[in-house]
């Protein structure tokens, strides 16, 4: 049994194995984000439930070299927000997804915000294809959230504990929304 919904920029696929255990997966398309709004597409991230937790398989290109802090953020919106006369890229995605309201970022293995994902690693060709694991999350946690990639690395509690917009490393450089279709809205493009 195989079912696919293609809604806007998001593809959601649900698969059932012959043993009838349901393995859920979702793919999100990411776009570069700037002060002007949502820019070029940079590829996809697939998320799959595994027995060890949420498997995260990026297939992204055109990113700056190095590790990048990556999170689930609360809102289905990758647009910029004006703050003190300055436009902040993807700020409409809101804060970190953290239903337990810990207010902390302790990484994928800690007890802080659930949306604190492992760093995504960008190699010399600008591509990120190395899979990572977030053991506390499931695909069902992703619906209605945005995946956000930041300019610098995440240090899991050692800095970037909140969003200081003036910090270069906390800047949001790519974003994609995971919409199950119920509350679908087109990404704002202010460019």
Instruction: Using CB under 5 A, list all residues that contact Cu ion.
Output: 71, 148
Residues whose CB falls within 8 Å of the CB of residue 143, separated by 6 or more in sequence, listed in order: 26, 178, 179, 180
CA distances from 141 to 129, 158, 189 (A): 22, 25, 26
Q: Which helix (H) or strand (E) holds 122?
A: strand 116-122
Whichever of 26 and 174 has its CB closer to Cu ion, that residue is: 174
For residue 81, the minimal CB distance to Cu ion (Å) is: 14
For residue 114, the minimal CB distance to Cu ion (Å) is: 12
For residue 148, the minimal CB distance to Cu ion (Å) is: 5
Kindly report the number of other CB atoms within 10 A of residue 57's CB atom: 15
Residue nearest to Cu ion (CB): 71
Whichever of 64 and 181 has its CB closer to Cu ion, that residue is: 64
Q: Phi and psi of 10, rounded to 5°? A: -115, 135
For residue 85, the minimal CB distance to Cu ion (Å) is: 23
Whichever of 53 and 94 has its CB closer to Cu ion, that residue is: 94
Whichever of 23 and 83 has its CB closer to Cu ion, that residue is: 83
């Amino acid at each position: 049994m195989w079912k696919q919904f293609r809604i806007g920029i998001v593809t959601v696929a649900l698969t059932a194995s012959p043993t009838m255990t349901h393995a859920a997966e979702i793919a999100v398309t990411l776009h570069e984000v700037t002060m002007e709004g949502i820019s070029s597409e940079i590829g996809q991230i697939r998320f799959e439930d595994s027995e060890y937790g949420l498997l995260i398989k990026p297939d992204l290109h055109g990113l700056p070299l190095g590790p990048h802090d990556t999170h689930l953020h609360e809102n289905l919106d990758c647009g910029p927000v004006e703050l003190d006369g300055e436009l902040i890229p993807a700020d409409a995605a809101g804060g970190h997804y953290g239903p337990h309201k810990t207010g902390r970022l302790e990484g994928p293995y800690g007890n802080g915000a659930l949306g604190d994902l492992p760093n995504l690693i960008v190699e010399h060709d600008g591509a990120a294809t190395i899979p990572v694991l977030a053991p506390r999350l499931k695909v069902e946690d992703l619906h209605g959230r945005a995946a956000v990639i930041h300019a610098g690395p995440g240090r899991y509690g050692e800095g970037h504990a909140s969003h200081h917009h003036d910090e270069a490393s906390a800047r949001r450089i790519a974003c994609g929304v995971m919409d199950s279709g119920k509350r679908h809205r087109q990404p704002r493009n202010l460019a």
